[in-house]
């Protein structure tokens, strides 16, 4: 796809710069890269703060971040390209590819489809969304960012034993579904998930700094938790989140070759790479998927289910939430916007009607995902 042309928008910079400056001054983040594309060109680009506070290393436009859930739309696009090529089917039962994956609900083993894994309607969950004494946490199910060295067989066995929270298709719940889907992709293709994603997405778009490892460790941002000031994460770190169980991190997980490649949270990427991906989907999907498939990613796929992490008015497409009605949630994003984030400190949205793509990547969890900076920047971007 190539690098986006620069077409700076001074009015946009006048709105966004003070918000970034305030977040740094108030020590809500260590550093950030903010990119906004309008009409296919880069209207705003800023790298600010530090990628490592302790060494004083400055944030740069090509800083590489642990992507957390920015992984999801990338893996989703890779999977949908496999569907287009009839390697896999959206409505395939999971047991077609993973015969041993048979979690139960109230003593029964219902059929789960790949579509349900993709849209978080399979009845699975994330550990951080479950009670401390629930099976996800007591059995040690990984959320894809902790437990270095944990491989696919053991992770799938733990999820199976933990069982389902509700019958497949009955509700929406953010989950490890993309991790299970990644294992199914490996079984269907005979390749590793990193190979499939590279061949079908990152190499085609020219995303040289995106993958399940790290292309240049010297450019990898240090991970921090919310302060102020931001707290450098240790080998393991738990970040409180809402009223839920804390989110568990092991920042060096990506360096352990025994760690399963998490289709929900396991990649690294740079902001320029990610906005190139979003622009590829926004402008019709090429060279990854067809226009029809790209359109389906930005279309609600979950009926009237409440998207509990986003609130009323949101549906869920493929790879991210879709704004159906901004009034109930008082969202600044318009109807039709496609949006998600990542718990290492990232947020993004695409507004097809305004030909707009926005990416915020920080090294501070969770301010960059759902804190004041993320909310303010999205609102200030959406108005223009």
* Angle of CA points 35, 38, 42, to nearest 5°: 45
| CA–CA gap between residue 225 and residue 231 (Å, rounded) | 5
Judged on CB neighbours under 10 Å (0-12, 13-18, 19+), 167 is middle
Instruction: Please choose, from the candidates 198, 186, 46, 178, the residue with its C-alpha nearest in 3D space to the C-alpha of residue 116.
Output: 178
CB half-sphere exposure, 302, CA atoms < 13 A: 32
What one-character DSSP code corresponds to residue 202? Answer: I
CB half-sphere exposure, 222, CA atoms < 13 A: 21
Please name the residue that has the structure tokens 């139960």: 104
To which H or E segment does residue 129 belong?
Answer: none
Instruction: Please choose, from the candidates 259, 319, 273, the residue with its C-alpha nearest in 3D space to the C-alpha of residue 79.
Output: 319
Q: How many CB atoms lie under 10 A from the CB of residue 3? A: 9
Cβ neighbours of residue 234 under 8 Å, at least 6 residues apart? Answer: none
State yes or no: is 69 an active-site residue: yes
Set 68, 69, 125, 365: catalytic member: 69
Residues with a known catalytic role = 69
């Amino acid at each position: 796809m190539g690098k986006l042309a620069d077409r700076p928008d001074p009015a946009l910079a006048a709105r966004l710069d003070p918000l970034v400056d305030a977040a740094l001054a108030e020590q809500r983040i260590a550093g950030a890269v903010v990119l906004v594309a309008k009409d296919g060109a880069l209207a705003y680009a800023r790298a600010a703060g530090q990628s490592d506070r302790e060494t004083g290393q400055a944030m740069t436009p090509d800083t590489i971040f642990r992507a957390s859930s920015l992984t999801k739309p990338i893996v989703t696009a890779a999977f949908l390209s496999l569907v287009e090529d009839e390697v896999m089917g959206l409505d395939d039962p999971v047991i077609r590819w993973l015969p041993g994956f048979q979690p139960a609900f109230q003593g029964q083993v219902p059929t789960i489809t790949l579509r349900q894994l993709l849209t978080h309607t399979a009845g699975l969950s994330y550990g951080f969304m479950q009670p401390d004494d629930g099976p996800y946490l007591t059995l040690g199910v990984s959320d894809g960012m902790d437990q270095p060295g944990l491989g696919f067989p053991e992770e799938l066995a733990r999820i199976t034993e933990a069982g389902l929270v509700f019958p497949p298709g009955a509700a929406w719940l953010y989950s490890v579904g993309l991790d299970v889907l990644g294992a199914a992709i490996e079984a269907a293709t005979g390749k590793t998930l990193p190979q499939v994603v590279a061949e079908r997405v990152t190499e085609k778009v020219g995303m040289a700094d995106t993958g399940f490892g790290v292309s240049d460790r010297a450019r990898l941002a240090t991970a921090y938790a919310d302060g102020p000031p931001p707290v450098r994460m240790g080998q393991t770190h738990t970040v409180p989140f809402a009223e839920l169980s804390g989110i568990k991190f092991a920042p060096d997980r990506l360096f352990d070759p025994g760690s399963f490649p998490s289709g929900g949270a396991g990649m690294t990427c740079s902001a320029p790479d990610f906005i190139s991906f979003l622009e590829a989907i926004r402008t019709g999907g090429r060279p990854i998927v067809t226009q029809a498939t790209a359109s389906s990613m930005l279309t609600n796929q979950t009926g009237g289910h409440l998207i509990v992490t986003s609130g009323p008015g949101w549906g869920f497409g493929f790879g991210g939430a879709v704004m159906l009605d901004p009034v109930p949630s008082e969202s600044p994003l318009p109807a039709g916007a496609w949006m998600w984030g990542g718990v290492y400190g990232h947020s993004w949205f695409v507004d097809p009607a305004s030909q707009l793509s926005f990416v915020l990547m920080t090294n501070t969890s969770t301010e960059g995902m759902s804190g004041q900076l993320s909310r303010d920047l999205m609102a200030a971007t959406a108005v223009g």
